[in-house]
Amino acid sequence: MFVKIILLVGVAVLVWSASARSSQAHGPKQVVTVQRYETLWTIASAHYGGDVRGAVWRIEQANHLAGADIQPGEKLVLP
List, for residues 61-72, the tens digit of each pLDDT value. Answer: 999 999 889 999
* CATH number for the segment(s) 26-79: 3.10.350.10
Mean of the per-residue pLDDT values of the chain: 84
* Confidence tier at 28 by pLDDT (50, 70, 90): confident
Is it the case that residue 52 has pLDDT exceeding 50? yes
State how far the Cα of 55 lies from the Cα of 74, in Å rounded to an integer.
Answer: 18
Of 63, 15, 66, residue with least CA distance to 79:
63
pLDDT of residue 25: 56
pLDDT of residue 1: 82
